[in-house]
Amino acid sequence: SAILTLNSFRKGGDGGGAGACYGRFYPDTQRVVALSTGWYNKGSRCGKIITIRGNGRTTTAQVVDECDSVHGCDAEHAGQPPCRNNIVDGSPAVWKALGVSKNDPRYGEMKISWSN
């Protein structure tokens, strides 16, 4: 099992630098995710489409970044602490596709399952 967290991958968003896979930013309307360091697996999942199940719904998203489980709390990571090792960090579009709105108490952190 995993925890879905919320991240903006757009320029100036809360994710800090550009996505590690391709060195670019993504609009909040695009379904993209960052995976914890172990799952990111040195970039082997970059560009892969994963299936995410949560809130009784299923969606897909492209892996574009690493949620760094080793480093953090610096400018490159927008001051964020290191990522827990079971995180799928999803764009607002992923949350929307799962039908979880901004006023839902789970918005920002919710248990999910995912697969390649």
Residue-range domains of the chain with CATH: 2-115 (2.40.40.10)
CA distances from 76 to 18, 40, 52, 57 (A): 9, 18, 27, 33
Nearest one of 86, 95, 93, 45 to 65, comparing CA atoms: 45
Q: pLDDT tier at 14 (50, 70, 90 boundaries)? A: confident
Q: Could you report the per-residue pLDDT of 49-102, keeping only the tens digit for each?
A: 999 999 999 999 999 999 988 876 677 666 777 889 999 999 999 999 999 999
d(CA 106, CA 37): 24
Q: Which of 82, 85, 93 is nearest to 26 (CA)?
A: 93
